Structure 1
Amino acid sequence: MVNDYTGGFESHYIQVADGLKLYARIYGPENEGLPIVCLPGLSRNSRDFHQLALLLSTQPPAPFRVITIDSRGRGLSDRDEKMERYTIPTEAQDVIAVLDRFGIERAIFIGTSRGGLILHILAATHPERLAGVVLNDIGPVIEIEGLKQIQDYLGKERRPRNFDDAAAILTETHGQSFPTLSEADWRDMVDAIYREIDGKLVADFDPAIAEQFRAADLSQPLPDLWAQFDLFSSLPLMTIRGENSRLLSKRTSEAMAERHPHMRSLTAPGQGHAPILHLADIPSEIQIFLADIH
């Protein structure tokens, strides 16, 4: 464990069964309430949740304990020499290993994009660990158009000269989907996506992940996960969809609400894939959702 109280969290490294070490942050005090576990997207890391985790872990009267995890090959977690192990089932097993390491029997989960797909798998393999779920711009049907968009920008990675250049690149790449973001928001995104290594800014994930994703055949629709989604039916569920998302369609979001009548739905105006969770009214809506989970 490495304490970083100035950042509002503790840093931990957890070794999993195949020998890799995963990085996780813990925000807030240990308490009797249910903790919140945050799972990031394909090429993202725990820094995506930093501002939200600070808020949830300090908000009176009942602050949450929040755990954010870098999936293998992302952020400060070890990179896997075997690229074929960058799979959702393997990463789901990693989540269980982290829970076991921290002695967490049940938790509320927030999953962005790939993190939400991991939660679909956990609903099938470890339903007893799920106390409630927030799905951020992901569902049981993934639109090929959205996957192709991700495939496209992963295939055109540009090396920024500095942080200002990185912000300009992100604005150029994603600005159409996120018209409401401020200059400070784009800079926050830079801090979440990039890390300075040997004086150079690099995207903070194993290039093999992008290589694997670029090689994926997107000529045919992917199998849906409706059977796994239906396993959320007994759980408190909230979904967040970016207004401009190409990955989670409005049609699919509406179908999810029909199958889970008590699902809390939120559209993030002026955001695409995937919504930034600490902006606008999203944190207060998440807190309303969390208040009813026991």
Structure 2
Amino acid sequence: MTQPDLRFVNCLDATGLHRMAYWEWAGPAADAPVLVCVHGLSRQGRDFDALARVMSQRYRVVCPDVAGRGQSDWLRQPGGYQIPAYVSDMVALLARLDVEQVDWVGTSMGGLIGLGVASLRGREGQPGLVRRLVLNDVGPAIRFEALQRIGAYIGKTLRFTSLAEGAAYLRTISEGFGPHSDEEWLALSAPLFREEGGEWRLRYDPAIGLPFATITPEFAAAGEAALWAAYDTLSCPTLVIRGADSDLLTSETARAMTQRGPGARLVELPGIGHAPTLIHDDQIAIVKDFLS
């Protein structure tokens, strides 16, 4: 089965440099368009293996591990685990890829990063960095209760006696991902763990959870206003995928996104919460059809 190449790019932060890893799936030709797929808060780039295998028939597919996750460096200052810093890292990645525009698929946090990248403006007359944007179960308004739920488990230092035990734990906190077979779930979970001294640990810096300790309803409201302001500047074709049972992206916010900014197309998936994994054929087809 086709596998991606692991590559790295140096990114600037407040203390110097850190390396961001990215998984690259070769396209059908050297000049193939680029699709960037960015994962959720505690995940990593291998989440998109199923989607990337299909999309690499047309695209050069690039799936980064956001700083502090997967194969990427952990930051020296945990305060750097913020969306603006991640946007800066992605600009460095796009410079490494030497492309003027990309298509973007972002799940949850990866969608907010994509929103930030898509809202960047160069000189008048220059195209934006994102040609087409897919926001997977995320939007400018994020329910405070959902942030509290995520903050309750993110960043814990956990140890497991086996990969199977670790995967079973992830399943208990990921019910919103929807139904998956045991084989599918293990494939999604295995890249998230590393074996160390006979124990299995999650491949992320526990400090990524620290920003959640400072979130208040007032802070969340200020962030929402900034995100709507960025969303309203977008002009690229945009698709919003929403799990119909999502506790993070409400139906009201999703429908507002169809009427504001780029006037997004909305697809809702029954029986799924936060967030669709985009590994099943029907979900992949939604993304493929939109990008085509």
Q: Could you tell me the TM-score, scaled by structure 2's length?
A: 0.88
C-alpha separation in 2, matches of 1:178 and 1:109: 20
Shift of 1:7: 4.7
Q: For the residues of structure 2 that align with 1:276 and 1:160, how far apart are their CA atoms?
A: 24
Please state if 1:194 is matched with 2:189: no
State the match for 1:85 in structure 2. 80
Specify whether residues 219 and 260 from structure 1 end up closer, same or farther in structure 2 by C-alpha distance, changes over 3 A only.
Answer: closer
Distance of aligned partners of 1:103 and 1:158 in 2 relative to their CA distance in 1, 3 Å threshold: same
> Which shows bigger deviation, 136-145 or 6-15?
6-15
CA-CA distance at 1:33 after TM superposition? 3.8
Structure 2 CA distance for partners of 1:180 and 1:81, relative to 1, 3 Å: same
1:214-233 alignment, distance < 5 Å: 214-220=212-218, 221-223=220-222, 224=224, 225-232=227-234
Superposed displacement of residue 158, structure 1: 4.2
Query: Given that residues 264 and 289 in structure 1 are in contact (C-alpha distance below 8 angstroms), is that contact kept between their aligned partners in structure 2?
Result: no
For residue 25 of structure 1, what is the aligned residue in structure 2? Answer: 23
SS class of match (1:125): coil
Give the CA deviation at 1:156.
Answer: 5.7
Offset of 1:171 from its aligned partner? 2.6
Of 111-120 and 256-265, more deviation after overlay is shown by 256-265
Q: Distance in 1 between matches of 2:256 and 2:281?
A: 26
Name the residue aligned to 1:149: 149
Letter in 2 for 1:93: S
> What is the match of residue 125 of structure 1?
120
Tell me if the contact between 1:193 and 1:204 (Cα under 8 Å) persists in the aligned partners: yes
Counterparts of 1:179 and 1:102, CA distance in 2: 34
Q: Distance in 1 between matches of 2:262 and 2:79?
A: 38
Shift of 1:260: 5.2
When structure 1 is superposed on structure 2, of 110-119 and 162-171 the one drifting more is: 162-171
**Letter of the 2:86 counterpart:** E
1:288 aligns with 2:286: no
How far, CA to CA, are the matches of 1:178 and 1:90 in structure 2?
A: 27
Runs of 4+ residues over 4 Å off in structure 1: 155-158
| The 10-residue stretch of structure 1 (141-150 or 180-189) with the greater mean CA deviation from structure 2 | 180-189
Q: How does 1:136-215 map to 2 (within 5 A)?
A: 136-154=136-154, 158-175=158-175, 177-210=176-209, 212-215=210-213
CA contact (8 A) 1:123 1:231 kept: no
Secondary structure of 1:95's partner?
A: helix
Q: Separation in 2 of the partners of 1:281 and 1:135?
A: 17
Aligned twin of 1:104: 99
Partner of 2:43: 44
8 Å CA contact 1:16, 1:97 repeated in 2: yes
In 2, are the aligned partners of 1:148 and 1:218 still within 8 Å (CA)?
A: no
**How large is the Cα RMSD of the aligned pairs?**
2.0
Residue of structure 2 in register with 1:3 after alignment: none
Using a 3 Å threshold, how does the CA distance of structure 1 residues 179 and 38 change in structure 2: closer, same or farther? closer
**Which stretch shifts more, 30-39 or 278-287?**
30-39
CA distance in 1, matches of 2:285, 2:203: 29
Distance in 2 (CA, whole Å) between partners of 1:203 and 1:267 is 31
Q: Distance in 2 between matches of 1:56 and 1:178?
A: 21
State the Cα distance separating 1:214 from its structure 2 match: 3.9
Deviation at 1:128, TM superposition (A): 1.7
Structure 1, gaps ≥5 residues long: 1-5
**Partner Cα separation in structure 1 for residue 194 and residue 265 of structure 2:** 35
TM-score normalised to the size of structure 1?
A: 0.88
Q: Is 2:9–2:96's contact at 8 Å kept on the other side of the alignment?
A: yes
Tell me how far 1:198 sits from its aligned partner.
3.9
Distance, in Å, in 2 between the alignment partners of 1:289 and 1:173 is 30
Question: What 5-or-longer segments of structure 2 have no aligned partner?
Answer: 122-126
The aligned length equals 279
Identity across the alignment (%): 33
1:81 is paired with a residue of what secondary structure? coil
Amino acid corresponding to residue 186 of structure 1 in structure 2: W
1:263 aligns with 2:264: yes
Gap change, CA 1:87 and 1:179, over 3 Å in 2: closer
Q: Closer, same or farther in 2 for the Cα pair 1:47/1:259, shift >3 Å?
A: same
Contact 1:40 1:112 survives alignment (8 Å): yes
